Amino acid sequence: MRKAAFVSALATKAADGKVVVFDGFDLAAEKKTATLESVLVKAGLEGKLLIVQSEIDANLLMAANNLYDVTVTHLGEVNTYMVLNADVVIFTKDSVAAVGDRFEVKSETPKTEKTEKKEKTVAKPAAKAKTPKKSTSKAKKA
């Protein structure tokens, strides 16, 4: 059930165009907040951002530490609430393939149309013949 909820939340974000895939964040040389912020601004991303990686990159984590609306997590920690709470979900290229493996949901069998039910005629039980009630009084008969 949790997997289905996660996939549903992610599908809703994707339908709204709120899922982005980055090839990677090249922050090896500079692990500065300003560098990451400029990359996100150039991409036109604003609001609450969730960055999902297959494995945590320490440089990206340090660069995003001072950005209030940016959350960096790895695939093992991401949950439905995080996806729904974020305005935009950013996946790295490596994590996209891992999402499919981790949150694979079995497709349901297609539902068939319901056929009209035939009304059953149920015979009512026959009315019971009334029997005279016996007198229970202890009155003496004269």
Measured CA to CA, the distance from residue 61 to residue 72 in angstroms comes to 6
pLDDT value, residue 81: 93
Q: What is the distance of C-alpha 57 from the center of its chain?
A: 26
Model confidence pLDDT, tens digit, residues 94-114: 888 787 776 664 545 455 555
Q: What is the pTM of this model?
A: 0.67
Strands 49-53 and 19-22: unpaired
Which residue stretches of the chain have pLDDT < 70?
Answer: 1, 27-29, 31, 102-129, 131-142
Domains and CATH numbers, the chain: 2-102 (3.40.1370.10)
Ramachandran sector of residue 29 (left: φ over 0; alpha: ψ -120 to 50; beta: rest): alpha
